[in-house]
């Protein structure tokens, strides 16, 4: 391992394994006060809560998981968009909940799950 790889590993080890950031593309702002839940699949169809939180003013979920917490395997992150939309005066929307299922293959890596939302669509990807 070279020096850069060692430093990257140290940075990864000092942050939570799963983080998220939600942006409301219809309003052009971070999605503040949106409830988020993270679960891990313990066995097929059986989901166990791993963490939860509410997005801050920047649309981020601090403390969704603890630093060093093992979340390896299949995870599901659920964004409760209905309450968010309604709290912000949006009465027409298509997705009351957005659930994203993803795999955590490397328990020492960082998995960032950004969500871009609007009342009639959403987009996500593996961020950094």
112 assigned to a ligand binding site: no
Domain membership flag for residue 116:
yes
For the domain that residue 26 is a member of, what is the CATH number? 2.60.40.180
Domain membership flag for residue 53:
yes
Tokens coding 67: 């630093």
Tokens coding 27: 């309003």
- Cα(62)–Cα(54) distance, rounded to whole angstroms? 8
Domain boundaries, position 38: 17-124
Domain membership flag for residue 110:
yes
40 assigned to a ligand binding site: no
What is the per-residue pLDDT across 67-124, written as a single tens digit (0 to 9) for each?
888 899 999 999 999 999 999 999 999 999 999 999 999 988 889 999 999 999 999 9
pLDDT level of residue 20 (50, 70, 90 thresholds): very high
Domain membership flag for residue 4:
no
Domain membership flag for residue 2:
no
80 assigned to a ligand binding site: no
Domain count, the chain: 1
């Amino acid at each position: 391992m070279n020096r850069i790889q060692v430093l990257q590993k140290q940075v990864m080890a000092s942050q939570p394994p799963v983080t998220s950031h939600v942006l409301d593309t219809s309003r052009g702002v971070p999605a503040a006060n949106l409830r988020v839940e993270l679960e891990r699949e313990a066995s097929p169809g059986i989901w166990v809560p791993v963490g939860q939180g509410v997005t801050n003013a920047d649309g981020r979920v601090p403390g969704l998981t603890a630093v060093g917490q093992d979340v390896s395997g299949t995870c599901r992150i659920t964004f409760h968009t209905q309450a968010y939309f309604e709290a912000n005066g949006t009465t027409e929307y298509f997705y009351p909940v957005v659930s994203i299922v993803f795999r955590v293959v490397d328990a020492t890596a960082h998995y960032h799950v950004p969500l871009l939302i609007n009342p009639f669509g959403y987009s996500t990807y593996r961020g950094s």
